[in-house]
A and B are shown apart, each in its own frame.
Chain A
């Protein structure tokens, strides 16, 4: 099945061509990455049908590292999970490549943009197709690199290059955890290959305990937690989410592809891939679920008051990623992946549509300077509404099915389940509120645009609107792959079932009536959020200002994003890093390193200063010492004979 190796390699070829010859190809450079990604999409479809037909591919392509007993192969694995991810990544990537032709038109970094985008697609595909932790890590770091490059794409802008660096550094914290987890796996099981590790994990002998800080922690829990730290960094969970909102400095297609649909879901994918490890550790699962649940609510609260159109969607992305982890954490792995899939489509749609709005307004991102756009950009309005309905979980749009599956699994989970369900419902209410707030501020009410900008408002070209319509189509209908209640309605979960035999089927025994009731609650909650936003923002109302005035403290706290950036800055950047740097500089560098180097030079200099006195230049003294030496040598000869 070597042809599937082409899936990542074709975008890579596109990257090379656009990157190396971009200068000569000018705007034609886009064709090569687009062709590569589209063919990769077609191959992915074929791979999907192979898997559907029962063919699981797991093949080593060549031996990468072979030292002693350590042997690491570069190998591809295409199973149910990978084929779903392949479809998501290549579909979104193709559409966003095409959309970018219109969006990036006229930018002086046009070819560079497409080469980075193709490189990103390559690494993302390596990440999902890898059959070992190490190769996955290659993809993992690669997408991080591309994310950095694309956030800082407009590097002349200080804020953009800062945001790129921030993303890179915060991700490094997570990657450190992933790396440690990986080393832990290697130390414990002696291999990094997925199938071998997962086989070894099931052996009870592998499950021994470490004593850390006086408490016993099983090695499996430790590995799972370390891997999850990696996922927290990549998928922007508490407390490592801070880089994602700033990542919106990048061009909008980048926000859609990398920071909404694919890369940020890599953490979710990784946890799902490592389901055999996570399922063995209830502690780790609880941590995943709680972090996910808290992030879902936390990010949503910030999203309520933001004014930048892209930042609202960015916080919503963090919040939705929280839902995915919530699902994984309660053992509903396929529900988490299902939400990943639907979210990729509707969030990609929302970002691209907001890109279309920004494009129409010649670069304006502040919602306070929009309004009444509905009649001017009809297509964008229509797809935006579809995306928002899907995000808010209004049936029958995609988000409803996936989010509800997660919430229902949470409700039925043992222990903290109902609490998590409550967090989810709370988040759902806020999600509906801020998404419709965005719609009403942007498309309804009175126009608050500059006269200049208003004059130039125009609908985006077809090359941008057609990808939007395709995504809107998916956002409307993809949810039906995971119908609840109906017998065999949840095809998605059945498709993935062979991978998650350990998953808890807590929902199986539950009654359909209860499920319908829970569903009704979440729909009512979502509609309540919608109506509230409508009341507040459809026509200019005094209520939002009044409430903001009354709860001024809370409002400013939310507007300033809980001041988390400032706190991190204070503790880590100013406190830890600068102080540590100062200590290391004054003691480590100046005293120890410089001291050693200069001291050595000084010691040599002073020794030679003294010993050079021996060379008097007087021949007779030399002759005298020669004679003396001779006498001593001869004397020694006689004495020691």
Chain B
């Protein structure tokens, strides 16, 4: 039996990798993937606690999160395609027209 703390450590590690990826990578795809990583880190947490507490709520919540993540990925990919068409780039640093 794997103790709960291992799951939590794994989840924390994945989340950190995701955060660093979002903050440091310049390619929009990688940023998007890092976001997925963060979401799934949360999912692992939810499932682990669901098992530990013997409650199904956590697992049902995970299904919701995966659904939202799928929808988000669809919208984000569409945006990225448009960006690539209109601006010819998917580099995050090229998009700073909101600069003050």
List the interface of chain A (C-beta within 8 A of B). Answer: 612-620, 623-624, 627
Contacts and interface: CB of A to CB of B under 8 A. Distances in A.
B92 A618 contact: yes
19 contacts: A614-B100, A615-B98, A615-B99, A615-B100, A616-B99, A617-B96, A617-B97, A617-B98, A617-B100, A619-B92, A619-B95, A620-B23, A620-B24, A620-B31, A620-B92, A623-B22, A623-B23, A624-B23, A627-B19
A618 to B, nearest CB: 6
Contacts of B100: 612-617
Nearest to B96: A617
B41 to A, nearest CB: 14
A618 B31 CA distance: 13
Given A613-B100, A624-B23, 19 more contacts: A612-B100, A614-B100, A615-B98, A615-B100, A616-B99, A616-B100, A617-B96, A617-B97, A618-B93, A619-B92, A619-B95, A620-B22, A620-B23, A620-B31, A620-B92, A623-B22, A623-B23, A627-B19, A627-B23
A614 B24 CA distance: 18
Contacts of A616: 96, 99-100
In this complex, the member of B31, B96, B100 whose beta carbon has the largest number of chain A beta carbons within 10 angstroms is B100
Nearest to A613: B100
Interface in B72-100: 92-93, 95-100
Interface in B24-42: 24, 31
Contacts of A627: 19, 23
A625 to B, nearest CB: 10
B24 A617 contact: no
Contacts of B98: 615, 617
Contacts of B23: 620, 623-624, 627
A612 B99 CA distance: 8
Which 9 residue pairs spanning A and B have beta carbons closest together? Answer: A617-B96, A615-B100, A617-B99, A612-B100, A617-B98, A624-B23, A620-B23, A618-B96, A616-B99
Contacts of B92: 618-620
A627 B20 CA distance: 11
Interface string B9-26: 000000000010011100
Contacts of A623: 22-23
Contacts of B93: 618
Nearest to A612: B100
Contacts, number: 30
In this complex, the member of B24, B95, B96 whose beta carbon has the largest number of chain A beta carbons within 10 angstroms is B96
Contacts of A613: 100
A36 to B, nearest CB: 72
A184 B55 CA distance: 88
Nearest to A615: B100
A612 B98 CA distance: 11
Contacts of A614: 100
Nearest to B22: A623
Nearest to B19: A627
A614 B31 CA distance: 22
Contacts of B19: 627
Contacts of A618: 92-93, 96
Contacts of A620: 22-24, 31, 92
Nearest to A619: B92
A144 to B, nearest CB: 60
A618 B91 CA distance: 11
Nearest to B100: A615
A617 B23 CA distance: 14
B95 A617 contact: yes
B86 to A, nearest CB: 17
B28 to A, nearest CB: 10
Interface string B30-68: 010000000000000000000000000000000000000
A319 B93 CA distance: 93
Contacts of B22: 620, 623
A620 B35 CA distance: 12
Contacts of A612: 100
A130 B23 CA distance: 85
B75 to A, nearest CB: 16
A249 B58 CA distance: 101
Nearest to B28: A619
A615 B24 CA distance: 18
B18 to A, nearest CB: 11
A284 B23 CA distance: 89
Nearest to B31: A620
Contacts of A624: 23
A618 B99 CA distance: 8
Nearest to A609: B100
B20 to A, nearest CB: 10
A618 B19 CA distance: 16
B95 to A, nearest CB: 7
A617 B97 CA distance: 6
A624 to B, nearest CB: 5
Contacts of A617: 95-100
A319 to B, nearest CB: 78
A627 B93 CA distance: 19
A610 to B, nearest CB: 11
A616 B95 CA distance: 10
Nearest to A611: B100
A620 B27 CA distance: 11
Nearest to B26: A620
A23 to B, nearest CB: 62
A70 B95 CA distance: 70
A617 B100 CA distance: 7
A626 B18 CA distance: 15
A617 B94 CA distance: 10
A559 to B, nearest CB: 76
Nearest to A627: B19
B37 to A, nearest CB: 14
A130 to B, nearest CB: 66
B87 to A, nearest CB: 14
A620 B22 CA distance: 7
A617 B31 CA distance: 16
A615 B97 CA distance: 10
A614 B99 CA distance: 9
Nearest to A620: B23
A618 B97 CA distance: 9
A616 B100 CA distance: 6
A478 to B, nearest CB: 88
Contacts of B24: 620
B25 to A, nearest CB: 8
